[in-house]
Structure 1
């Protein structure tokens, strides 16, 4: 495709001109054909009418034809009349023929005899002049003698002149209309594409520091307005994603910087002077704890990065969820006892789900760990499992601090801290546990909900499809 037709404007104009040219051409041909047909039909009707008039005035008596004087001396300039026998001998003709004669060759006679009283019409040329429209009719008289050929002709000069003028004006008007149409298509394309050009310029100007800008929407009901609205919604999503990404990077750098700062500080203090073996051991234990926290944070960041990039490849298999809950509760029970928290497990049903055992183990462990971390000593954490239709319903409830209602929608965001009290209560966490839980639930085609009452506790509820339902959807 040439460079000219790469733009939408050029394509709109080209198609508009092509359609207009075809319409003008079709209209011109139809108009010319209709006018020509009407003119020729009028000529033919005149010839047939005159031939009938002549035939009605002919008289055959005593073996010979008697011609009316007024027809023999016909004075009309338009019509040419000639009477001949079947042998081609001229018996009478109109005065306006002079010494000329109408064409009467064997072909014309044969066609006239074939067509009979209906007459034979033909367009013939006479010398260098304009063509004639000629009607030849056979009159057999009394049927016992030689017949008579009645010929009536008329010059087509006026018809051709009229058609010539029509052709001239069509050749003038058609290009003029095409030119006007091209100008109209140019302004129409410009008007139609002007909003798109404005949208392109605005979109080009939107950058990292101007994500809040939006495309102008003149008419939200038309197609261009709908396109602008779609782009604006996309820019809104990009803005939120970019802000979330910036916040994530900032939080991640902060979370990484804190243990690194502690680790560096501990090592620098340890190296300022000679210390005892016990002091060095304490420094190394503290450094090891910070290194483990860094390792855990990096692993969780990598896990979320794989989830975001779609490179997560879970190993799905049938899993008895009650058994998995019991195993994890047994592992977490020691941590709960250390914090003087009662851990209860209620798994009356034994639903089988289709999932990745490592990911589901991590999901349950994160929920229990989160509940224990935010529950005060003497509190209670309850893990329950039950069937709910074609879903397994897993709940983790605590009697901890609770979460304010306005912050519930943010608890699954990465590095989010619900409030200062919960942040102070939290120890050793990365701020990514619930974000990982949400991604694990999503990849298992489940749903997660949170309910909380400040001062009373929080309930996290996960619904996962059962084994047969999950295999059909996968």
Structure 2
């Protein structure tokens, strides 16, 4: 069942129930008012007949005759007049006697002055009536046919109105639900048209403050993440196909040339060493591409935990020195701290270590003494790492493209590389909500300043 139908049914059911309750209250209040009015009329009729009998001395037979004649056409009030000792003075129709008075009833009327009750379908009042210094007890009973007829008519009118109103509510509820949910239908139609080839399309947002606007915004954020993931995959595939072609071609070409003719053992050895060098380039390039793809993920797709920067720097230093015997990495703590929070950040240990390795290797590659100096500073809200070298520096024209993947600067002949390292470092730093700055002085060296916020 569609939400539109469910909403219509629920809206109609709830509203119909409320209306039914209100109509029940109307009928109940009308019935209560009918009883009160009829009890009041009974009292008036009882006093009137008592006055005719006691004050005006109208003959009992005459009054009884009038009563018998009237009851053939209308619901005439049956009145009886008693003395407090249960002595009957007058009765409209003793043989009918709707009330069936008893001494106990007369005694209760004398005590309470006035009582009201039902005798079957008949309403009955009993009241103490003083006349010329004596007390008399009057009972009056009748069936309120006219009142019940009006109640029946009211009930029928209310039920008809309820039925018609129910139908109107169902129609109105259907159109209201269709109108309210039309943005959802628009969102569904728009999303169904979005495929891998047009992930740049977005769901229109009418009002961000309402629930449907929030739904559209959520869809758009999901599409943003999908688009970024697809772009990262496309970039990875494109980079792999583009960047691996050259070293692989060099590797294959060198081996093919070696096989063209017989060579000496030393020549074969040299050819194998060149092939290993090219293969090592391929391995490093593929690792760099994989790390670049990982760093392109959304933060929520990366597992984060509390990590210590000093421990990661020590691990990165060990990896750099193990892979390059001629490199040197000096770690300098600006000041000692016993507070672990000052050097702890929320991050992915593998990616952070990869960034530090790249920064250290970059310093060593472009430094005359193959040395990277890493200075660690602690502040209340963040930690700052400075990776510096004493190399040739970065030309001003290359600074703009320093963090562009696969861009090689004008000093590319000074050291080997694949143009991935700095782009990877920047992505990792940004992924950890950090910042990276570069200060370079041609002929003097370069300093990379990396900031990470504390947890």
Structure 1 residues 248 and 78, CA gap change in structure 2 (3 angstroms): same
Q: CA deviation at 1:177?
A: 0.8
State the partner residue of 1:340. Answer: none
Asked if 1:132 is matched to 2:127, the reply is: no
Q: CA deviation at 1:58?
A: 6.2
Q: CA deviation at 1:88?
A: 7.4
Name whichever of 234-243 and 319-328 sits farther off. 319-328
Pairing partner for 1:385 from 376, 383, 402: 376
Q: CA deviation at 1:91?
A: 3.9
Structure 1 residues 228 and 405, CA gap change in structure 2 (3 angstroms): farther
Q: CA deviation at 1:423?
A: 5.9
Describe how 1:12-51 pairs up with structure 2 within 5 A: 12-51=7-46
Separation (CA, whole Å) in 2 of partners of 1:220 and 1:357: 37
Structure 1 residues 176 and 357, CA gap change in structure 2 (3 angstroms): closer
State the partner residue of 2:417. Answer: 428
Residues 49 and 79 in structure 2, CA contact (< 8 A), matched pair in contact too: no
Separation (CA, whole Å) in 2 of partners of 1:371 and 1:462: 14
TM-score by length of 1: 0.73
State the partner residue of 2:358. Answer: 366
State the Cα deviation string for residues 256-279 of structure 1 (Å, max 9, x = none). Answer: 333222111111121122223333
Separation (CA, whole Å) in 1 of partners of 2:79 and 2:433: 103
Separation (CA, whole Å) in 2 of partners of 1:91 and 1:357: 111
Separation (CA, whole Å) in 1 of partners of 2:264 and 2:198: 58
Separation (CA, whole Å) in 2 of partners of 1:386 and 1:217: 46
Pairing partner for 1:110 from 83, 104, 113: 104
Separation (CA, whole Å) in 2 of partners of 1:378 and 1:401: 20
Name whichever of 111-120 and 185-194 sits farther off. 111-120
Residues 386 and 393 in structure 1, CA contact (< 8 A), matched pair in contact too: yes
3-state SS, counterpart of residue 421 of structure 1? coil
Residues 402 and 452 in structure 1, CA contact (< 8 A), matched pair in contact too: no
Asked if 1:246 is matched to 2:237, the reply is: no
Structure 1 residues 172 and 137, CA gap change in structure 2 (3 angstroms): same
State the partner residue of 2:385. Answer: 394
Pairing partner for 1:211 from 196, 199, 217: 199
Q: CA deviation at 1:165?
A: 0.7
Separation (CA, whole Å) in 2 of partners of 1:305 and 1:278: 41
3-state SS, counterpart of residue 226 of structure 2? helix
Residues 202 and 223 in structure 2, CA contact (< 8 A), matched pair in contact too: yes
Question: Matched residue pairs, number?
Answer: 432
Structure 1 unpaired stretches of 5+: 61-65, 126-130, 337-342
Residues 112 and 137 in structure 1, CA contact (< 8 A), matched pair in contact too: no
State the partner residue of 1:92. Answer: 90
Residues 112 and 138 in structure 1, CA contact (< 8 A), matched pair in contact too: no
TM-score by length of 2: 0.76
State the Cα deviation string for residues 143-169 of structure 1 (Å, max 9, x = none). Answer: 99xx75423233311011101111111
Q: CA deviation at 1:320?
A: 9.8
3-state SS, counterpart of residue 209 of structure 1? helix
Q: CA deviation at 1:174?
A: 0.8
Residues 119 and 135 in structure 1, CA contact (< 8 A), matched pair in contact too: yes
Structure 1 residues 400 and 380, CA gap change in structure 2 (3 angstroms): farther
Structure 2 unpaired stretches of 5+: none
Describe how 1:247-396 pairs up with structure 2 within 5 A: 247-300=235-288, 310=302, 319=311, 334=326, 348-350=334-336, 353=343, 363-373=355-365, 383-389=374-380, 391-396=382-387
Residues 12 and 170 in structure 2, CA contact (< 8 A), matched pair in contact too: yes
RMSD: 4.5
State the partner residue of 1:449. Answer: 436
State the partner residue of 2:115. Answer: 120
Q: CA deviation at 1:200?
A: 0.9
3-state SS, counterpart of residue 395 of structure 1? strand
Q: CA deviation at 1:208?
A: 0.7
